Structure 1
């Protein structure tokens, strides 16, 4: 289970996986997110295949100050296999190669993923996330 960098031809499979994992929201077009990340110099989407199926992804980006993780997804059929920590480690490695000193992520209220990240050494940050639609 070695992560690989996804390319534009992987969009349909990645978006389907994100939808199956409940990661998409009506106000964010996941196909646009995918295309932007794959085309960007400061971003990538890493994925793992099982046979011909894409079973895990993580989007990673360097905003010039910090690294960010998004769309960590593991197919329901592969949960508990240790794939999520492999994907997080691969994303962290991608950031380390670029000299990024810190990685951050956001967990939506009601998502129980915070315990998973805490087990990997992530800590809750004392910040307020604010947003504005452009």
Structure 2
């Protein structure tokens, strides 16, 4: 397995799969169109965020989108994992773990001393994040009315 930045055709493949990644990441709550997914991702890329992809041969297996964010209360700038996705046929093989470790290493090299991410409650990836050392920082609560 190789983890690296995508070329143009791989980037197009990621964009075509982005709605599925967002659907899975929100546990089915968000069902974005291709256009909506593009509207969410493009501003991040324009501000310096970037993808790292996991491939084997010509097969795209998954990706991570990493960049920067600013804490609205403390004004602290930190590294952020915006998206992590592994195609269904490649899940359970440790690819997500490798993508996160590589993403963290890139963010460290980019000068960040902290990495954060957001995840929907109930997402099975929470266990993976915790095994890698992530701790609960903030909790968003909701109530249907």
Q: Is the 8 A contact 1:47 1:57 kept in 2?
A: yes
CA RMSD in angstroms comes to 2.5
Paired position in structure 2 for 1:4 = 4
Superposition pairs of residues 96-107 of structure 1, within 5 angstroms: 96-107=108-119
Alignment counterpart, residue 87 of structure 1, candidates 90, 93, 99: 99
Alignment counterpart, residue 56 of structure 2, candidates 50, 56, 66: 50
1:115 aligns with 2:135: no
Deviations 1:80-127 (A, max 9, x none): 1111111001111111112101000011123222111111111111x2
Range moving further from structure 2, 63-72 or 84-93: 63-72
Q: Which runs of 5+ in 1 are unaligned?
A: none
Q: Flag the 1:91–1:68 CA change in 2: closer, same or farther, 3 A.
A: same
* Separation (CA, whole Å) in 1 of partners of 2:7 and 2:40: 13
Aligned to 1:95, the other structure's residue is in SS state helix
Please report how far the alpha carbon of residue 7 of structure 1 lies from its aligned counterpart in structure 2 after TM superposition. Answer: 4.6
Give the TM-score normalised by structure 1: 0.79
Corresponding residue pairs, total = 128
Q: Which runs of 5+ in 2 are unaligned?
A: 71-76
Please report how far the alpha carbon of residue 31 of structure 1 lies from its aligned counterpart in structure 2 after TM superposition. Answer: 2.0
* Separation (CA, whole Å) in 1 of partners of 2:2 and 2:132: 19
